[in-house]
Structure 1
Amino acid sequence: MKIRQVIGVLCILTAIVLIGAPFLKYELLEAKSSHVTAQSLTPEKIEQNNKKPAEFDMESIEPPSVMDTVVKEAKADEESVVGQIRIPSVNLDLPILKGTTNENLMAGATTMRENQWMGVGNYPLAGHHMNREDLLFSPVLKVKKGDLIYVTDLTYEYTYSVTKTEVVHENRTDLIENTIEPNITLVTCYNSDDRTKRFIVTGELKETHEYKK
Structure 2
Amino acid sequence: MALILLYTGVLMVSLPWLKTTIIVAKDSRTSITQVTNLSEVRDIPFKRVDPPTLNQVLLSKPNDQSAIGEIQIADLNIALPIFAGLDSTQLIYGVGSMYPDRNLKKANLVLLGHHLGAQELLFGNLVNARKGQEIQLSYLGKYYDYVIDQKQVVDEKDLAELAAAEKPQLTLVTCDSPDYTTKRVIVKANLVKQSSDKTKQVMKINETKFLKKKQQINLKRIVLPLFLLVLGLISVTYLIIKKI
Task: Please tell me the TM-score bracket, short chain as reference.
Answer: 0.7 to 0.9
The correspondence of residues 23-38 of structure 1 with structure 2, limited to 5 A, is 23-36=17-30
Q: Which has the higher strand share?
A: 1
What SS does the corresponding residue of 2:164 show, helix, strand or coil? coil
What SS does the corresponding residue of 2:119 show, helix, strand or coil? coil
Matched residues in 2 for 1:91 and 1:67: separation?
A: 27
Map of 2:175 onto structure 1? 189
Cα-to-partner distance string for 1:171-196 (whole Å, 9 max, x where unaligned): 11121122231100000111234511
Matched residues in 1 for 2:33 and 2:153: separation?
A: 35
Percent of matched pairs sharing the same residue: 27
Matched residues in 2 for 1:88 and 1:12: separation?
A: 42
Map of 2:65 onto structure 1? 78
Matched residues in 2 for 1:68 and 1:193: separation?
A: 17
**Could you tell me whether the CA contact under 8 Å between 1:56 and 1:113 is conserved in 2?**
no
Matched residues in 1 for 2:83 and 2:181: separation?
A: 23
Ranges in structure 2 where 5+ consecutive residues have no aligned partner: 205-244
**Could you tell me whether the CA contact under 8 Å between 2:41 and 2:64 is conserved in 1?**
no
Normalising by structure 1, what TM-score?
0.82
Match of 2:126 among 134, 140, 159: 140
What SS does the corresponding residue of 2:44 show, helix, strand or coil? coil
Matched residues in 2 for 1:67 and 1:14: separation?
A: 17
Q: Does 1:41 align with 2:33?
A: yes
Letter in 2 for 1:41: T
Map of 2:15 onto structure 1? 21
**Structure 1 segments of 4 or more deviating over 3 A?**
7-16, 31-37, 48-53, 117-120
Shift of the 190–49 alpha-carbon distance from structure 1 to 2, 3 Å rule, reads: farther
**Could you tell me whether the CA contact under 8 Å between 1:33 and 1:136 is conserved in 2?**
no
**Could you tell me whether the CA contact under 8 Å between 2:153 and 2:176 is conserved in 1?**
yes
Map of 1:94 onto structure 2? 80
Larger radius of gyration: 2
Letter in 2 for 1:142: N
Q: Does 1:65 align with 2:53?
A: yes
Matched residues in 1 for 2:28 and 2:167: separation?
A: 32
Q: Which has the higher helix share?
A: 2
Matched residues in 2 for 1:136 and 1:200: separation?
A: 15
Matched residues in 2 for 1:125 and 1:171: separation?
A: 16
What SS does the corresponding residue of 1:102 show, helix, strand or coil? coil
**Could you tell me whether the CA contact under 8 Å between 2:82 and 2:95 is conserved in 1?**
yes
Map of 1:4 onto structure 2? none
Cα-to-partner distance string for 1:100-151 (whole Å, 9 max, x where unaligned): 1111111111111252244441000001112112111011111100111111
Map of 2:154 onto structure 1? 168
Shift of the 140–76 alpha-carbon distance from structure 1 to 2, 3 Å rule, reads: farther
Match of 1:131 among 117, 142, 150: 117
Map of 2:98 onto structure 1? 112
Q: Does 1:54 align with 2:44?
A: yes
Shift of the 26–11 alpha-carbon distance from structure 1 to 2, 3 Å rule, reads: same
Q: What's the RMSD between the two structures over aligned residues?
A: 2.4
